[in-house]
Homo-oligomer: A and B are copies of this chain.
Amino acid sequence: MTAEQQARATLADVARLAGVSAKTVSRAMSGDGSVSEVTRERVMTAAKRLRFRPNTLARNLRHGGVTNSVAFVIGDITNPFYFNVAAGIERELATKGMTMLLATTDDAPGSEAVVVDALLAQRVRALIIVPIAKDQSYLEGERQLGTPVVCVDRPAHHLVADSVVLQNRLGIEEAVRSLIAVGHRKIGFVCSPAELYTHQERLLGYRSALLEAGITDSRRYERLEPVLGATAEESVRELLALDDPPTAIIAGNNRASTAAWRELFNRSPRVAFIGFDDFEFADTLGISVVAYDPIELGREAARLVLARLDDPSGPPRQIELPTHLIRRGSGEVPPPDAPDSTIAP
Report yes or no: A102 in contact with B104, Cβ–Cβ below 8 A.
no
Chain B residues with CB under 8 A of A4? 144
A309 at the interface (CB under 8 A from B): no
**A120 interface residue per 8 A CB criterion:** yes
Interface presence of A295 (CB below 8 A): yes
> Of B99, B100, B162, B308, which is within 8 A of A122 by CB?
B99
Q: Are A119 and B144 in contact, CB atoms less than 8 angstroms apart? A: no
Number of copies: 2
Q: In the complex the two chains form, what is the Cα distance from A120 to B55 in whole Å? A: 8
Could you say which of B6, B58, B279 contacts A61, with CB atoms under 8 Å apart?
B58
A133 interfacial contact with B, CB 8 Å: no
A40 is an interface residue with CB less than 8 A from chain B:
no
Say yes or no for A338: interface residue by CB 8 A criterion: no
Would B78 and A84 count as touching, CB distance under 8 A?
yes
Partner of A5, one of B8, B69, B122, B146: B146
Whether the Cβ atoms of B118 and A97 lie closer than 8 Å is yes
Give the size of the chain A interface in residues (CB under 8 angstroms).
69
The reply to whether A80 and B83 form a contact with Cβ atoms under 8 Å apart is yes
Cα of A308 to Cα of B60 in the assembled complex, Å: 28
Contacts of A303 in B (CB 8 A): none
Smallest beta-carbon distance A343→chain B, Å: 26
Chain A 84-103 interface mask (CB, 8 Å, partner B; 1/0): 10110011001001011111
Flag the segment in A193-201, A221-229, A236-244, A310-318 that touches B: A310-318
Which residues on the B side are within 8 Å of A146 (C-beta)? 5
What B residues does A3 contact at CB under 8 A?
312-313
Note all chain B residues with C-beta closer than 8 A to A78: 84, 87, 295
The answer on a CB contact under 8 Å between A51 and B145 is: yes
Chain B residues, CB < 8 A from A54: 121
- A319 CB–B CB distance under 8 Å: no
Indicate if the CB atoms of A55 and B90 lie closer than 8 Å: no
Cβ of A280 and Cβ of B258 under 8 Å apart?
yes
A268 within 8 A of B: no
A6 to B141, CA, bound (A): 9
Residues of chain A touching chain B, judged by Cβ–Cβ distance below 8 Å, are 1-6, 8, 51, 53-58, 60-61, 65, 67-69, 71, 77-78, 80, 83-84, 86-87, 90-91, 94, 97, 99-104, 117-123, 141-146, 160, 162, 258, 261-262, 265, 279-281, 284-285, 295, 308, 312-316
12 contacts between A and B (CB under 8 A): A1-B162, A2-B313, A6-B145, A55-B121, A56-B122, A56-B123, A57-B65, A58-B65, A78-B84, A91-B104, A258-B280, A281-B285
